[in-house]
C-alpha cells in the first residue's frame, strides 16, 4: 500500500506497467482487457504483530461506476485541458504549487 487516507477511508497502491494501453487476452472475458482488468486481485497482508491476510477481488461493477464518473467529468476535463475553462485550484497538488503566484504586497 503506497497511500492511505484514513479520513476518506481509502487506500491506493502504485503499480508500474509496460504501457497504459497494452491489452492482455482474458479467458474469463474471452477478449482483450486492460492491465487493470487482467490483475483484479490483491493479496493483502497487514502489518499487525499477528498478520492478517486476504485475497481481495474487484467486482467488475466497480469499474462501471468509475467509467460513469469519468464520463460525467470528461467534458470539463477536456475544456480545462484545451484552455477553455480554468482548473479548480486545490493549492495542494503539483500543478497548483508550480503555478502559484506570490502576493504583490504583504498586509
Q: What is the per-residue pLDDT across 52-93, written as a single tens digit (0 to 9) for each?
A: 988 877 777 777 888 888 899 999 999 999 999 998 999 888
Sequence ranges of the domains in the chain: 1-58, 59-100
CA distance 21 to 32: 11
**DSSP code of residue 55:** E
CA distance 78 to 70: 11
pTM: 0.39
Residue 98's pLDDT band (boundaries 50, 70, 90)? very high
Residues 6+ apart with CB under 8 A from 16: none
Percent of the chain residues past pLDDT 90, beyond the cut: 19
**DSSP code of residue 88:** P
Amino acid at each position: 500500500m503506497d497511500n492511505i487516507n484514513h479520513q476518506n477511508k481509502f487506500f491506493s497502491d502504485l503499480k508500474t506497467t509496460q504501457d497504459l494501453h497494452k491489452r492482455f487476452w482474458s479467458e474469463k472475458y474471452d477478449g482483450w482487457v486492460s492491465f487493470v482488468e487482467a490483475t483484479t486481485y490483491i493479496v493483502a497482508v497487514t502489518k499487525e504483530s499477528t498478520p492478517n491476510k486476504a485475497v481481495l477481488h474487484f467486482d467488475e461493477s466497480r469499474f462501471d461506476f468509475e467509467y460513469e464518473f469519468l464520463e460525467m467529468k470528461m467534458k470539463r476535463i477536456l475544456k480545462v485541458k484545451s484552455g477553455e475553462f480554468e482548473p479548480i485550484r486545490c493549492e495542494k497538488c503539483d500543478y497548483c504549487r508550480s503555478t502559484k503566484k506570490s502576493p504583490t504586497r504583504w498586509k
